[in-house]
């Protein structure tokens, strides 16, 4: 592609877990360019000799699509975007490409201090499946909130 694309945004090792099994994997996040006004993000995960890749209009959705490939095999990626209690806002997806997401605390409105990087490391006890993450998001949205 021209105009400096694809652009490498993330290039580092992450922990990938399956039950008691833990492996290091290389994750790369790319901005491949634009289709008109719409961005195209790509995530690659090199797990042993296997390569998993997913593309989407934001980095968080690319991660979700990558996780959809890994979950049936029992693998979870230990990054903030795989936590039960994280999710991007619509504006964060549109303006920020889903590269930062909110930690959602029950009963509390999210603020800028709750933002974390989608592909930053996460503790293993915070990881969840996509379905668990979406259920938490729905419950958080429905719950009354107060401002901190």
Each residue's pLDDT tens digit in the chain (148 positions)? 568 999 999 999 999 999 999 999 999 999 999 989 999 999 999 999 999 999 999 999 999 999 999 999 999 999 999 999 999 999 999 999 999 999 999 999 999 999 999 999 999 999 999 999 999 999 999 999 887 7
> What is the layout of strands, in order, in the sheet containing 7-18?
50-56, 38-47, 21-35, 7-18, 76-77
Question: How many angstroms separate the CA atoms of 101 and 86, rounded?
Answer: 6
Write down the pLDDT at residue 3: 82
Residues 6+ apart with CB under 8 A from 72: none
Write down the pLDDT at residue 2: 61
Residues 6+ apart with CB under 8 A from 4: none
């Amino acid at each position: 592609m021209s105009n400096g694309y694809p652009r490498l945004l993330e290039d580092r090792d992450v922990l990938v877990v399956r039950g008691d099994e833990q492996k290091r994997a290389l994750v790369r996040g790319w901005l491949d360019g634009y289709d008109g006004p719409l961005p195209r993000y790509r995530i690659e995960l090199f797990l042993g000799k296997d390569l998993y890749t997913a593309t989407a209009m934001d980095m968080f959705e690319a991660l979700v699509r990558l996780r959809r490939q890994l979950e049936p095999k029992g693998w979870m990626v230990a990054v903030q975007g795989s936590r039960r209690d994280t999710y991007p806002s619509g504006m964060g997806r549109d303006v920020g490409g889903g590269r930062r997401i909110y930690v959602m605390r029950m009963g509390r409105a999210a603020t800028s201090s709750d933002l974390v990087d989608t592909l930053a490391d996460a503790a293993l006890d915070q990881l969840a499946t996509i379905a668990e993450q979406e259920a938490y998001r729905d419950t958080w949205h429905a719950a009354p909130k107060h401002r901190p």
